[in-house]
Amino acid sequence: MRRIWLGLASLLLVGWMAIVPAPADDYPARPIQLIIPYPPGGSDVLSRRFAQAFSESMGQQFLVVNRPGASTMLASEMVAAAKPDGYTLYVAAPHELAANVSLFKTVGYNALTDLTPISVMAFIPYFLLANPSFPPHTPQELVAYLKAHPGQVAIGTFGVGSQTDLDARLIEASAGVQLSRIPYTGGAPALTALMGNEVQLGITTLLPSYSMVKGGMLRPIAIMADQRFSEFPDVPTLKECGIDVSDGARLALVGPKGLPRPIVDRLHAEVLKALARPDLQDYFRSQAVVPVGNTPEEFAASLAADTRRWADVIARMGIPKQ
């Protein structure tokens, strides 16, 4: 009799599991919190476009929460500690996820094990911008000026150890010059400082700076990409001018560790759906944005590779941990 009851219980359990919906069947059932590691009005412009696209497609509001500071570690720690139910997501900067472990003595999460990679959504090349009053107009003129004024030209970065900070160091090393690197908490304050001539140079994408460049409030000296951008055909690449630095920002969708695979797959599908929207594609072309949309496995592999690469670069540059 006991075996009969156990058998019946097993059959009932199997039947119950067959009719219980998968975790993603009713997802999302309430608004989703989308963490952005930068201040509003700067580097979060594209993230908010994705949030709007997700909201329209998934029928739930995406509540954008800006959590800047500590080279994106405050935002990363917040997401790593969140419940893995799909209601706290993160538009991460893969560079900082990869590099912070080599830059800081204390990092309150392991980017490779404490987060769930979903997809790298986009790549946006950096531009080297100048205040209009700054004399050099070309990379060659810039290098000559910097060599004549070592350490006297200030460049704004998104914080010590940020991607723009490391890129400024790479420019120094490649061109044989010395800059004064001034850290800010993100793109918006760095651009404000550049327009106010508090700093003379800045590294950023066109996303927060396009109107300023078009309006003459900022002047592009070079694009930090492998080829010129059609919107600014007269702006050379750094590589054309002998400065071997090519880089840009990446936006990636990430969740907490243990995010159920059905939810991961649903969110990856939503990324691909957003990238296919004609309005977003038009916006991408105007802002030099390259859509990506890779798989969770491809994202995880690239993050591991970047972690190794930046560890090597930071060691070779002799940057001590903070």
**pLDDT above 70 covers what percent of the chain?**
92
Per-residue pLDDT band for 10 (boundaries 50, 70, 90) equals very low
Q: How far apart are CA 69 and CA 159, in angstroms?
A: 8
pLDDT at 12 over 80: no
Please tell me the predicted confidence (pLDDT) of residue 220. 96
Per-residue pLDDT band for 207 (boundaries 50, 70, 90) equals confident
Q: Where in the chain is the domain with CATH 3.40.190.150?
A: 30-123+249-316
The number of beta carbons lying within 10 Å of the beta carbon of residue 176 is: 10
Where is average pLDDT lowest: 18-22, 165-169, 251-255? 18-22
- Where is mean pLDDT largest: 159-163, 280-284, 316-320? 280-284
Q: Which residue has the tokens 């990238």?
A: 275
**Interacting residues of 278 by C-beta distance below 8 A, sequence separation 6+:** none
pLDDT at 27 over 60: yes
Rounded to two decimals, the pTM is 0.81
pLDDT at 22 over 80: no
Q: How far apart are CA 224 and CA 48, in angstroms?
A: 24
Q: Which CATH number fits domain 30-123+249-316: 3.40.190.150, 2.60.40.420, 3.40.50.1010, 3.40.50.1110?
A: 3.40.190.150
**Interacting residues of 256 by C-beta distance below 8 A, sequence separation 6+:** 79, 80, 81, 82, 83, 84, 88, 114, 115, 116
Find the helix or strand (DSSP H, E) in which 46 lies: helix 45-58
What fold is seen in the domain 125-241?
Answer: D-Maltodextrin-Binding Protein; domain 2 (3.40.190)
Q: Where in the chain is the domain with CATH 3.40.190.10?
A: 125-241
Q: Which residue has the tokens 């109107």?
A: 211
**R_g (Cα) of the chain, nearest Å:** 22
Please tell me the predicted confidence (pLDDT) of residue 3. 45
Determine phi and psi for 200, rounding to 5 degrees.
-100, -20
For residue range 63-78, what is the model confidence (pLDDT) as tens digits?
999 998 888 899 999 9
